[in-house]
Chain A
Amino acid sequence: MGKKFSGASQIMSRFRGWIQAGATLLTNLHLPNFLKGKLYQGAGKTVCVPGLNCYSCPAASGACPIGAFQAVVGSSKFSFSYYITGFLILLGVLLGRFICGFLCPFGWFQELLHKIPTKKFSTKKLKPLRYLKYAVLLVMVFLLPAFLVNDVGMGDPFFCKYLCPQGVMEGAIPLSLANSGIRSALGSLFTWKFGILLAVIVLSVIFYRPFCKWLCPLGAFYALFNRVSLFQIKVDKNKCVSCGKCAKACKMDVDVTKAPNHTECIRCGMCIRTCPTGAVRFRYGFGDGKDKTKAAKKAAEKQ
């Protein structure tokens, strides 16, 4: 009934930074395109990458799921993005927000910024802002592109166009640097989104992953699958001494022992590394792993 990580959980979370770097590189393989100011337009672009990574990044190896969803849902040809939704549900079930913690380039970018040594602030009191990302998903990614259409049935990709800082950083900035035609096309929209990017950068230094917590529609989508995902975090009640260190260590403000598979958990594994008794671990597969607890209980009863 599925694999279990124990020592593996520790190793995974310890090497998370390297996995993030690797995933970012794989998501952006075509590095020479940065100099050419061109986009890779091959077959890879017909598939979505798991994380938030702009299609218009010169190096991008695939399409952004959020961008692709909006492009299809807002197109006059289709009414709904079935293929991309299916793909996202599959990823949600297979990995959930593990993608945020391990595979997303923009998540990694925010984490790197957070490493800059300054005074850090807790986001515990800002918890209501978490719901904003679901609104972004519903309104900017789905409703507006699908229903606010022009006379020929076309909608704008609202999230990409008006909000996404990753698009500015990976797409607009490198392309406009290398391509004079695009440079001359920059307008007020660019200024606005550049402002958003700057704000996210500044906030990332003082808060941990502000964009993931409050705005990211992709994170919101995966969050909905965290509870049912095959990738889980388990707390062994027998080993847990209720010290509360895990909840304190959690930078996503999750109370690990109460809700190990909370929508906000990005599977970073900080709790696993701080747990003094090794009670917290990753678990992959079907079932909830209660058998082990039961077995332990039975053993206790026998004594």
Chain B
Amino acid sequence: MKMNRTNTAGRLLALLLLALMMLSLTACGTKNGDKADGMSSEPKNAEEAVAMHKDLMAQENAILSENTALWEKVFMAADKGMTMQEDGKNYGDFLLSTIESAKDQFTEDELKLLKEGAEKIRDIETKLTMIEEKYPEAAQESTDGAMSVPAGNDTTTPPDDGSMQKSDDGSMQKFPTFEGKDLDGNTVKSDELFSANAVTVVNFWFTTCNPCVGELAELDALNKELAEKGGSLIGVNTFTLDGDEAAISEAKDVLAKKGATYQNVYFNSDGEAGKFTTNIFAYPTTYVVDRNGNIVGEPIVGAITEKNQAETLQKLIDQALAADAG
């Protein structure tokens, strides 16, 4: 692994800060609650809540899009090991700690700008959390495909176990974002792909993997079935990452032989999704992703030609579809 000294030091600092934050958060939780109760800007009904939620989200996005380049740098510096969604940690706090850990990358003015932005976001997030707690449906309705959290944090590794997804407050792990192409060269963006489908099944495979190739026909049938329900299935052939021409033609060849017509995509191996892929070591592995880009349940390891694996997959798909409808 390539890692320079500043980076390591930065990581350590971030970890320390995170630990401090965790300690203080337990106290903060109640304080925030008190504050929220006394706030005059409390929505009176669900409709107002939706409006407020949307407004706040827009404000937050505005702050982030004002200095995109700077924020990009912050996101790059984000410690991939920490999960901001864990324990309902405030996104603003997460940003602040990330900025702090990477402060040597910015000038004085830039730092001031970023910190101000992050502090505003923290306040917005506090309000958002309050609305979400009181009117969960409102949050759902307002978000609808868009994400309150920009991509770039804690999405690089598949989960070691299910613990992350099993957290009871419904916070989920995001599928890593990517901007890639399908095997015919059409651009595919993960956020567009996911938001256009009630459920997206992502199947990781490679050309010389026998069980992977063995399930292609069934996956194609599943894709057709999903299409009727507003879902979709895509394949990611790991040999084709970075657009390897020979690998693409071989993959196409195998797909054609197996009569699989669904979309297969590739992206750069050094991106979020690329790193995510290198952490998958058992093939095939199949993920179920909802409209918001969250991974539903645990990945299915091994071919879905096995009956119980197919049943597990179907359950996850139904779960995602039900959540999308309701």
Contact between A38 and B281, CB atoms less than 8 A apart: yes
Question: In the bound complex, what is the Cα–Cα distance between A154 and B160 (angstroms)?
Answer: 31
Question: In the bound complex, what is the Cα–Cα distance between A178 and B160 (angstroms)?
Answer: 8
* Interface pick from B2-10, B60-68, B222-230, B301-309: B301-309
Contact between A152 and B257, CB atoms less than 8 A apart: yes
Q: Is A180 an interface residue (CB 8 A)?
A: yes
Query: At the interface, is chain B mostly helix, strand, loop or mixed?
Result: mixed
- Which partner residue on chain B sits nearest A188 by CB separation? B306
**Set A37, A74, A150, A185: member contacting B160, Cβ < 8 A:** A37
Give 1 or 0 for each of A147-158: 1 = CB within 8 Å of chain B CB: 000111011100
Give the shortest distance, in Å, between B250 (CB) and chain A (any CB). 8
Question: In the bound complex, what is the Cα–Cα distance between A37 and B250 (angstroms)?
Answer: 31
**Set B210, B254, B282, B306: member contacting A181, Cβ < 8 A:** B282
Give the shortest distance, in Å, between B264 (CB) and chain A (any CB). 15
- Which partner residue on chain A sits nearest B213 by CB separation? A152
Q: Is B208 an interface residue (CB 8 A)?
A: yes
Contact between B299 and A181, CB atoms less than 8 A apart: yes
Neighbouring B residues of A182 by C-beta, 8 Å: 282, 301-302
Contact between B208 and A77, CB atoms less than 8 A apart: yes
Neighbouring B residues of A181 by C-beta, 8 Å: 282, 285, 298-301
Contact between B312 and A38, CB atoms less than 8 A apart: no
Given the interface contacts A152-B213, A180-B298, does A185 sit within 8 Å of B306 by beta carbon?
Answer: yes
Question: In the bound complex, what is the Cα–Cα distance between A152 and B214 (angstroms)?
Answer: 10
Give 1 or 0 for each of B180-196: 1 = CB within 8 Å of chain A CB: 00000000000000000
Given the interface contacts A154-B208, A181-B301, does A36 sit within 8 Å of B258 by beta carbon?
Answer: no
Q: Is B278 an interface residue (CB 8 A)?
A: yes
Neighbouring B residues of A46 by C-beta, 8 Å: none
14 A-B interface contacts by CB (under 8 A): A37-B161, A38-B279, A39-B281, A76-B207, A76-B208, A151-B257, A152-B254, A152-B258, A154-B213, A179-B161, A179-B301, A181-B285, A181-B298, A181-B300
Query: Which of A25-54 touch B at CB < 8 Å?
Result: 36-39, 41
Q: Is A118 an interface residue (CB 8 A)?
A: no
Given the interface contacts A39-B281, A41-B281, A180-B161, does A156 sit within 8 Å of B302 by beta carbon?
Answer: no
Q: Is A187 an interface residue (CB 8 A)?
A: yes
Contact between A41 and B254, CB atoms less than 8 A apart: no
Neighbouring A residues of B279 by C-beta, 8 Å: 38
Q: Is A75 an interface residue (CB 8 A)?
A: yes
Contact between A184 and B208, CB atoms less than 8 A apart: no
Contact between A41 and B161, CB atoms less than 8 A apart: no
Question: In the bound complex, what is the Cα–Cα distance between A184 and B300 (angstroms)?
Answer: 8
Neighbouring B residues of A77 by C-beta, 8 Å: 208, 250
Neighbouring B residues of A36 by C-beta, 8 Å: 160
The 10 tightest CB contacts between A and B, nearest first, are: A185-B302, A181-B301, A39-B281, A75-B208, A154-B210, A185-B301, A182-B301, A180-B161, A152-B254, A152-B257
Give the shortest distance, in Å, between B218 (CB) and chain A (any CB). 15
Q: Is B162 an interface residue (CB 8 A)?
A: yes
- Which partner residue on chain B sits nearest A187 by CB separation? B306
Give the shortest distance, in Å, between A121 (CB) and chain B (any CB). 39
**Set A38, A71, A184: member contacting B301, Cβ < 8 A:** A184
Give the shortest distance, in Å, between B246 (CB) and chain A (any CB). 10
Question: In the bound complex, what is the Cα–Cα distance between A36 and B157 (angstroms)?
Answer: 12
Question: In the bound complex, what is the Cα–Cα distance between A257 and B300 (angstroms)?
Answer: 58
Give the shortest distance, in Å, between A42 (CB) and chain B (any CB). 9
Contact between A184 and B312, CB atoms less than 8 A apart: yes
Neighbouring B residues of A150 by C-beta, 8 Å: 210, 213-214
Question: In the bound complex, what is the Cα–Cα distance between A280 and B301 (angstroms)?
Answer: 53
Question: In the bound complex, what is the Cα–Cα distance between A155 and B214 (angstroms)?
Answer: 11
Give 1 or 0 for each of B276-300: 1 = CB within 8 Å of chain A CB: 0011011001000000000000111
Neighbouring A residues of B285 by C-beta, 8 Å: 181
Question: In the bound complex, what is the Cα–Cα distance between A152 and B253 (angstroms)?
Answer: 9
Question: In the bound complex, what is the Cα–Cα distance between A178 and B207 (angstroms)?
Answer: 27
